[in-house]
Homo-oligomer: A and B are copies of this chain.
Amino acid sequence: MATLVVGSVAYDTIETPFGKAERILGGSASYISVAASFFGPVRLVAVVGSDFGEQQFAAFRGRPIDLDGLERADGQTFHWQGKYSSDLNSRETIRTDLNVFERFRPKIPASYRRSEHVFLGNIDPTLQREVLDQVERPRLVACDTMNFWISGQPEALRKTLARVDTLLINDGEARELSGEWNLVKAARAIRAMGPRTLIVKKGEHGVLMFLEDGTFAAPAYPLEEVFDPTGAGDTFAGGFMGYLDSCGRLDDESLRRAVVMGSTLASFAVEAFGLDRLLRLTRPEIDARFSLFKRLTHFEAL
């Protein structure tokens, strides 16, 4: 099987209390693809500029990440610059240069059209729908979005959500999208818009997944050192999608394990700047931390 990932590939300039990293590889699709590639083949759809160099491509090479859908356009690559607060719990966007990403219209190569699993990264909901128009009946369509589209493109977003199986957003976005503060009520309202499964990411407080038949809660792994939270949510999505692709099932138990796998990958991502930790991560390390999650949450029935 394979996971099709559509999103941004970018240069990030990141400032945290621990230092600054300039123009390192970032973007949602980069994190999602690298995280998912630990589990199976990934098909990347994104755009970069002519300034995107061999060094950046190197991050994807040597992994099962198909780059046929990585368009190279004239101009500069998307660049984002952000600065984190001293507690890493909030961040300020210093600068967003959309560059070639501004005119990105995802073109799905013929070789990608039969992808079983599709992840629509956080882009214009109309473009997300254009992706779905170009693929053949995937088993799973998952999707991310953000406040910018929730408030700016509500109609387009509704049309996209009607075609999505699983929505992954953060708690603030779930509240804005539903107009409900209470997350249980928010989940009911959002699931009525289309997605059978809603995953609400709460950062250091973990994840809530609302399913057809119940709710699953997973904590974030309690880390002593967090260096850079950038990409944690995207890495979660990548681990989630990759695990589902590798296990081949979409039942309740598989979705639960996929959430923990997403949390596992995310817990590594924040241990170093950008993609650094993911790029030197190994499958045995992943499996060991998944087991720690099991122990972290374990208790016996009465």
Contact = CB atoms under 8 A, between A and B. Distances in A.
Interface of A: 86-87, 181-185, 202, 205-206, 208, 214-219, 222-226, 253, 256-257, 259-260, 287, 290-291, 294-302
Contact of A299 (B216, B224, B225): B216
Contacts of A301: 290-291, 294
Nearest to A213: B295
Majority secondary structure of chain A interface residues (helix, strand, loop or mixed)? mixed
* Copies of this subunit: 2
Contacts of A216: 296-299
Nearest to A180: B224
Contacts of A257: 299-300, 302
Nearest to A188: B224
Contacts of A185: 224
Contacts of A298: 216, 256
A295 B56 CA distance: 43
A51 to B, nearest CB: 37
Contact of A256 (B222, B260, B300): B300
A222 B218 contact: no
Given A181-B87, A185-B224, A226-B182, A253 B300 contact: yes
B184 A224 contact: yes
Nearest to A301: B294
A215 B294 CA distance: 11
Contact of A217 (B87, B184, B219, B287): B219
A47 B253 CA distance: 51
Contacts of A182: 223-226
Given A202-B205, A256-B300, 6 more contacts: A182-B223, A184-B223, A205-B205, A216-B297, A256-B298, A257-B302
Contacts of A219: 206, 208, 217, 219
Contacts of A218: 297, 299
Contact of A214 (B184, B214, B296): B296
Contacts of A224: 182, 184-185
A260 B297 CA distance: 10
Contacts of A226: 182
